[in-house]
Amino acid sequence: MSFLGFPVMRYIDVNDSEDVLRAIKLTDPDCPIDLIVHTPGGLVLAAGQIAHALRRHRAKVTVFVPHYAMSGGTLISLAADEIVMDPNAVLGPVDPQLGAVARRLDPDGARPEEAGGHRRRDVHQGRRLEEGHRAGAADGPGPLE
């Protein structure tokens, strides 16, 4: 995103991963790495490459989060040996986007279904609910599957 041609917000992309991977490779394996992460996230591929490279680095890796590290930034942060955060800083959910048609496994693992299929899993009550059916207080907790 930009405002009057000046970048306001940048996402992690493959150019970032190339630059960071090159810097990690050029760093002596016994030299600690300190990385400042402040990002709204970005491409899963790029963040994953950076995270794997940080995990393979032999010396201590410390990630500093001054404000926020969302999605791919969280993935990178969790690859570090230590995360140092400002008291008001946050890590965000790792939420990879899979494209127009997201697929998931049926709860029994039998077959993939399109997202928004006829079944969903109620996390609180641990049971399968049919579409259109809502678990209410009268339903009770039900058995766990």
- Which segments of 76-117 are extended strands (E)? 82-85, 90-91, 103-105, 112-114
Within the chain, residue ranges assigned H as helices are 14-26, 44-56, 72-78
Tell me the domain boundaries of the chain.
2-91, 98-131
8 Å CB contact between 41 and 90: no
The end-to-end CA distance of the chain, in Å, is 45
The whole model's pTM is what? 0.63
Report the pLDDT value the prediction gives residue 132, as an integer from 0 to 100. 45
Read off the pLDDT of residues 46-99 as tens digits, 9 standing for 90 and up: 999 999 999 999 999 999 999 999 999 999 999 999 999 999 999 998 876 655
| CATH code given to domain 2-91 | 3.90.226.10
pLDDT digits (tens, 9 = 90+) for 7-41: 556 789 999 999 999 999 999 999 999 999 999 99
3-state secondary structure of 122: strand
Six-digit token string for 52: 């794997």
If DSSP codes are grouped into helix, strand and coil, which group holds residue 139?
Answer: helix
